[in-house]
Amino acid sequence: MPLQLTEDVSHATNGNGDHNGSNGHVDVTVSAAAKLREMLNDPNGFVFAPGVYDGLSARTALEVGFDCLYMTGAGTSASKLGTADLGLCTQTDMIEHATMIANLDRSVPVIADMDTGYGGPIMVSRTVEAYARAGIAGFHIEDQVLQKRCGHLGGKEVVPLDEYLARIRAAVEARERIGSDIVIMARTDALQPLGYDDAIHRLKEAQKLGVDVLFLEGLRSKEEMRNAVADLAPMPTLMNLIEHGATPTVSHDEAKEMGFKVMILSLASVAPAYVGIRDALVKLKKTGLMGTPSEITPKKIFEVCGLNDFTDLDGRAGGGSFGEDRTA
């Protein structure tokens, strides 16, 4: 399905320039997938999506004003299971997480990790259908073996090309069967085990099957980044930036200048959350107090998580259940 959009997209806000939560007045007449396609079609556009790993991190990214989010698989594994990114999240884990994040604000597209698709072609098809029903705007699916690992760890293994392309065919066929706009991003982890030329070949073969974006994971130098964009042109390409990972750190502007169309930052909220939580708990253990800034009240956290939207909804319905709770 080529990257085309035939409908107008309006991005709803709450009147203060902030994104509404799931209970605000959100225009969802055009799907998040269609909006992501519009962003990809814009000749000057650049999709910049921070990784979010749970409801609070997603709500915080929405509060800051990002217009696209990325549901990180590594962050999902860490937050939902408390485990390293070693392929332990199941299809059910990922669908549940994706559904929650995508529906916090349906006017903001969410790109989601789909790992390997969680099985053979039938399972891939079912996963695509579930992500589309959940409201996910786009996803990437990769060629690692089922017992996969984070793309920035060593020792990765990939399936034979035919098996990878079967996953891609199943994803494209599922999208067509259900009439969805969901954006399919073909990812390869073949760079580490097989080399650059094989990785590019895999993505070009995936392109022939109808994917929308190409994603070469684990790029090792700025020269390799530029070469990948050029070798895969004119297809849109995605960069996954993990600071201190396998890929050199580049800025939003530098990635755009290189020609990438999408940039995801998988650990954008995971790493700061670990640092902040650990620092606070170390201080608590030593002093008995966390030293939270005075403006971070319970009410502030609840507002980030939709307090005003929920109380407005209750009031409009005549419930009156919350009384003065919103100003407490």
Which are the catalytic amino acids? 70, 85, 113, 115, 140, 142, 150, 187, 217, 240
- Which residue matches tokens 């530098």? 254
Say how far apart CA 170 and CA 192 lie, in whole Å.
25
**114 and 13 Cβ atoms separated by less than 8 Å:** no
Token reading at 240: 């996954």
**108 and 19 Cβ atoms separated by less than 8 Å:** yes
Residue 271: alpha-carbon gap to chain centroid: 16
Phi then psi for residue 126, to 5 deg, are -65, -35
DSSP symbol at 238: E
Token reading at 214: 């190409």
Residue type at 71?
M
